[in-house]
Structure 1
Amino acid sequence: MYFPLMSSLKNVLNFQAGLGVLANMFLLFFYTAIILGNRPKPTDPISCQLTFIHIVMVLTGGDLWLTDVFESLNFENDFKCKATFYINRVMRGLSICITCLLSVFQAVTISPNTSLLAKFKYKLKKYVIYAFLFIWSFNLLFIGNRIFYVGAFTNTSETNQMKVTKYCSLFPMNYIIRALILTVTVFRDVLLVGVMLTTSAYMVIILFRHQRQCRHLHSISHPRVSPEKRATQTILLLVVFFVIMYWVDFIISSTSVLLRKYDPDILTVQKFVVNAYPTITPLVQISSDNRIINMLKNMQSVCHHIFKKGYFFSSF
């Protein structure tokens, strides 16, 4: 029973990773075309960057495809472990930072002109560029020193190795360095999650006020949802889902660290949880963006027209 169960779980992970990569690649091409084209939305550059981060995050987070690539290129296990660990940790840090930035950006965008945030609306593009530079620099440098404490599992009886995947393990580090890394990581995550929850509450209040005002407009019999409101609802959904998945992953990771034991079942569940957000995010964005929905409808109409035309000519 154990081996068929593990095989089924691996198939689920492969399906989840494939779905996540394909959906994010579709969004990446879409946002890139929109940005290079005319009149992109203010949040499009942030969403485009988030989709790229999620593609790399899924590819490096499951030991599924990138591991096979490294093995086909005859890379050593130590290099494979350091590369996948570093890239995945950087992408996970960027994911929470960019998601927080997206939440703040949308909160400023929909803020009333009488609010304190209104003065930042016309400077958002410049601020976003500075934010990108700071976020990438911080995560690349902060995770850089941790690659010295991860490497290939030596399959020995040494107790100072903590096996974290099938081939990789964490080595012991100085108490001060470990405490410093843990403090900065927890401070960063708690701060960003707090900011996301605060901006989410702020956006909920604005949407509630807007909805209450619309009820007094008797001339509107069938009010339509504005693009700003739809985008805000989408970001709120993504933030809530991210926070839930983050705390589930935090509990699983903390349990593994306390036990200092490699458990394939726990690791499989953790991989599924970690990849849940980058897999669900593009699906939510695709289903809620009218531009994508209209584009898919137009493509469907064109394909249907071509099919009928081809069928018509084939009948002669």
Structure 2
Amino acid sequence: MNTLSAYVAINNCILCQAGIGILSNNFLFFHIFTRPQYHKPKLTDLICCHLALVHIMMLLTVLFWRSPDLFESLNFFNDFKCKALFYLIRVMRSLSICTTCLLSIIQAITISSSTSWLAQLKHKSTHFIFFLSLLWFLCLCFSTSTIFYTVANSNVTQTNVMVITKYCSFFPISHSIRGLVFTLITSRDIFLIGVMLLSSVYMVILLLRHQRRSQYLHSTSLSPRSSPEKRATQTILLLVSFFVVMHCVDFIFSSSSIILWSYDSVILGIHDVVVSAYATVSPLVLISSNKRIIIFFKIYHRKALNFNKLSINLVVFV
């Protein structure tokens, strides 16, 4: 009974988390994408839009994956639904790490000094947007293995399958294939996280240099505001740090399940919470650090207060 209640509580937490993440990612996406007339969109804005879109699709897939009612509402065979949903989750998770890595690289190039070797890439950085289509292609191809070993429980007659949800399971995989897939995924993730950490260290060094220089340019009595580039860099550093921590926890859960070939329902729920955490938190961090969005909220709040005052005055007058 305790296990069942824990599973229900974790499942409700995942659904609530997915709902918050979908709303915040939608707001971030449409605010940046539909308001180019007020500012010239930066390359980092476009990448943030892509990251928000990826997270929306991933969280929507999680909703259908974790909710039996939504899963049954899809008018397809269970086997097809299991393969399609788990394949989409894998693709979106791959795109999430690739896009976050690309975002950190672009920001490192953006704030690099004119004397740096990275400055040569500043004028060519707009071409990085074409890498997004390449990332989609690679992630779609890289995740195709999940299609072959994901199956609906109704089609399973073996006893050594790994049960994932009420409807879906994994076929047993040979140790050689399991080791190959594990090695490829781990190598890719280590490479991308290594690039993120290198770009993060580079940005931290640049921020420290900028802070030292600003101490000579400004007196101690003044408190100059941080530049937009500095705020954006700090935000991306926060995102990268949070992503690395969540990904390390995710790696521990995933590797243990692959090695032991078993999944407890509660452990699986905690794993899904960790997987969806970055997709939920990242838009909130980007929204809270975006000056244009903060100004938008202030203007909206001021208009709402004025409307309430006008409504009260009309009621009093009547």
Structure 2 counterpart of 1:298: 299
Q: Deviations over 1:188-228 (max 9, x none)?
A: 11110000000000000000000011111234712111100
Unaligned runs of 5+ residues in structure 1 are none
The alignment status of 1:182 with 2:188, answered yes or no, reads no
Structure 2 counterpart of 1:133: 133
Give the letter aligned to residue 250 of structure 1: F
Q: By how many angstroms is 1:155 displaced? A: 7.8
Map 1:14-93 to 2 at 5 A: 14-35=15-36, 38-61=39-62, 63=64, 68-93=69-94
Separation (CA, whole Å) in 1 of partners of 2:36 and 2:148: 38
Give the letter aligned to residue 16 of structure 2: F
Do the aligned residues in 2 keep the contact of 1:90 with 1:143 (CA within 8 Å)? Answer: yes
Q: By how many angstroms is 1:175 displaced? A: 5.6
Do the aligned residues in 1 keep the contact of 2:65 with 2:85 (CA within 8 Å)? Answer: no
The alignment status of 1:7 with 2:28, answered yes or no, reads no
TM-score w.r.t. length of structure 2:
0.93
Q: 1:229 to 1:291 in 2, by over 3 A?
A: same
Map 1:1-316 to 2 at 5 A: 2=2, 3-35=4-36, 38-61=39-62, 63=64, 68-126=69-127, 128-154=128-154, 158-173=158-173, 177-219=177-219, 221-315=222-316, 316=318
Q: Percent identity?
A: 49
Give the letter aligned to residue 171 of structure 2: F
Q: 1:103 to 1:84 in 2, by over 3 A?
A: same
Separation (CA, whole Å) in 2 of partners of 1:78 and 1:155: 8
Give the letter aligned to residue 183 of structure 1: T
Do the aligned residues in 1 keep the contact of 2:65 with 2:71 (CA within 8 Å)? Answer: no
Do the aligned residues in 2 keep the contact of 1:35 with 1:45 (CA within 8 Å)? Answer: no
Q: Determine helix, strand or coil for the equivalent of 1:113.
A: coil
Give the letter aligned to residue 23 of structure 2: L
Do the aligned residues in 2 keep the contact of 1:94 with 1:136 (CA within 8 Å)? Answer: yes
Separation (CA, whole Å) in 2 of partners of 1:285 and 1:159: 46
Equivalent residue pairs, number: 315
Unaligned runs of 5+ residues in structure 2 are none
Q: Determine helix, strand or coil for the equivalent of 1:169.
A: strand
Separation (CA, whole Å) in 2 of partners of 1:133 and 1:92: 16
Do the aligned residues in 2 keep the contact of 1:59 with 1:66 (CA within 8 Å)? Answer: no
TM-score w.r.t. length of structure 1:
0.93
Separation (CA, whole Å) in 1 of partners of 2:173 and 2:10: 33
Q: Determine helix, strand or coil for the equivalent of 1:216.
A: helix
Q: Determine helix, strand or coil for the equivalent of 1:114.
A: coil
Q: Deviations over 1:150-186 (max 9, x none)?
A: 1112486624422222321111346654444333222
Q: Determine helix, strand or coil for the equivalent of 2:6.
A: helix
Q: By how many angstroms is 1:123 displaced? A: 1.2
Do the aligned residues in 1 keep the contact of 2:78 with 2:152 (CA within 8 Å)? Answer: yes
Give the letter aligned to residue 163 of structure 2: K
Do the aligned residues in 2 keep the contact of 1:24 with 1:55 (CA within 8 Å)? Answer: yes
Separation (CA, whole Å) in 1 of partners of 2:149 and 2:10: 29
Do the aligned residues in 2 keep the contact of 1:62 with 1:271 (CA within 8 Å)? Answer: no
